[in-house]
């Protein structure tokens, strides 16, 4: 991906969404054509020259100091995910990073695979920043059964959300899931703009899905750490699960996702039914 183009689009989109009132400006021309801030206003708020800010918004982030990045974050009211994304873009713009290539996708270590196998009461899976599911326990495969029906491997959350018609039924809050999924993929693109598999995925989805293309153009980013997922499972119906994403320290780029529900809740009951269904499915004799 073009790092300069991404930096330019990201900074200009953050500037455009921030009104003078939100920025705390008390004196400005109220007869402006667009609601967002002008470059000169951002420059003043960040304490840099207009010329220098214009250079940054053209996508030239190489060599930008941490203090300037912090000043821009304050001026543009960036949240934690946006600040991290801006820092990632600046880092990727450095000459040492331009030639860097991420090694091939790591294999799941036997110890991690064994831990997944031993987790029988909660859905658990290991994925990467592109949305690939690289390993999953039996309960996670049962939970995400519609996604695992796709013969393509590895299963991918982003492809499922935008290219599989079942996704809109499976996710009761599909609109939020779709937006969050794209924002997480955009965050990953900032971390490594030279990941060819990610570039290919974005290209495929941009070509095949207008919903994805529209969201991708918004340049939103998000940190996906914890929260609630709302399911409509084809076998056990509607329920909610809490998720936790845990980074695997020994496997950079990989995340262990755990899903659970409070004891006695509808989600807890649904997981028990799901486990029973998964067991019966696995024990069913093969058709000949």
Q: Tell me: pLDDT of 191 over 80.
A: yes
**Tokens representing residue 20 in the block:** 């003078």
Confidence of residue 288 (pLDDT cuts 50, 70, 90): very low
173 CB neighbour count, 10 Å cutoff: 15
Residues 137, 125: contact at Cβ < 8 Å?
A: yes
Confidence of residue 146 (pLDDT cuts 50, 70, 90): very high
Please name which of 245, 218, 217, 240 lies closest in space to residue 229, comparing C-alpha atoms. 240
Q: What does the alpha-carbon distance between residue 54 and residue 153 come to, in Å, rounded to a whole number?
A: 44
pLDDT (mean) for 23-45 = 84
Confidence of residue 104 (pLDDT cuts 50, 70, 90): very low
Confidence of residue 96 (pLDDT cuts 50, 70, 90): low
First to last CA, the chain: 48
- How much is the mean pLDDT over the chain? 91
Q: What does the alpha-carbon distance between residue 76 and residue 79 come to, in Å, rounded to a whole number?
A: 9
Residues 206-238 have pLDDT tens digits of 999 999 999 999 999 999 899 999 999 999 999
Give, as one character, the DSSP assignment of residue 136: E
Q: When comparing pLDDT for 101 and 91, which is higher? A: 91
4 CB neighbour count, 10 Å cutoff: 15
C-alpha radius of gyration, the chain, whole number = 22
Q: What does the alpha-carbon distance between residue 13 and residue 114 come to, in Å, rounded to a whole number?
A: 45
**Tokens representing residue 122 in the block:** 């909660």
3-class secondary structure per residue, 54-75: HHHHCCCCCCCCHHHHHHHHHH
Q: What does the alpha-carbon distance between residue 113 and residue 259 come to, in Å, rounded to a whole number?
A: 17
pLDDT (mean) for 93-111 = 65
Confidence of residue 285 (pLDDT cuts 50, 70, 90): low
Q: Tell me: pLDDT of 102 over 80.
A: no
**Tokens representing residue 32 in the block:** 């402006």
255 CB neighbour count, 10 Å cutoff: 18
Domains, the chain, in order of start with CATH, read 3-98 (1.10.260.40), 110-283 (3.30.450.180)
Q: Tell me: pLDDT of 128 over 50.
A: yes
pLDDT (mean) for 275-279 = 92
């Amino acid at each position: 991906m073009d790092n300069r183009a991404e930096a330019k689009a990201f900074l200009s989109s953050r500037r455009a969404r921030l009104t003078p009132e939100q920025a705390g400006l008390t004196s400005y021309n109220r007869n402006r054509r667009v609601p967002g801030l002008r470059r000169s206003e951002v420059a003043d708020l960040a304490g840099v020259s207009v010329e220098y800010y214009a250079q940054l918004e053209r996508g030239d982030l190489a060599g930008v100091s941490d203090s300037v990045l912090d000043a821009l974050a304050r001026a543009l009211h960036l949240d934690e995910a946006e600040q991290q994304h801006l820092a990632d873009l600046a880092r990727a713009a450095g000459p040492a990073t331009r030639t860097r290539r991420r090694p091939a996708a790591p294999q799941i270590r036997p110890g991690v695979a064994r831990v997944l196998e031993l987790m029988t009461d909660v859905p658990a899976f290991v994925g990467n920043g592109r949305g690939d599911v690289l390993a999953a326990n039996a309960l996670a495969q049962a939970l995400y059964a519609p996604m695992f029906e796709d013969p393509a491997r590895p299963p991918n959350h982003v492809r499922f959300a935008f290219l599989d018609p079942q996704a809109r039924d499976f996710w009761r809050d599909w609109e939020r899931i779709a937006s969050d999924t794209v924002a997480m993929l955009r965050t990953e693109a900032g971390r490594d703009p030279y990941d060819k598999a990610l570039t290919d995925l974005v290209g495929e989805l941009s070509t095949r899905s207008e919903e994805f293309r529209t969201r991708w153009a918004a340049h939103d980013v998000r940190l996906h750490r914890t929260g609630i997922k709302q399911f409509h499972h084809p076998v056990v119906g509607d329920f909610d699960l809490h998720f936790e994403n845990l980074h695997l320290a020994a496997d950079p780029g990989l995340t262990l996702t755990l899903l659970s529900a409070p004891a006695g809740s509808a989600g807890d009951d649904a997981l028990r039914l799901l486990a029973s269904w998964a067991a019966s499915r696995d024990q069913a004799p093969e058709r000949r």
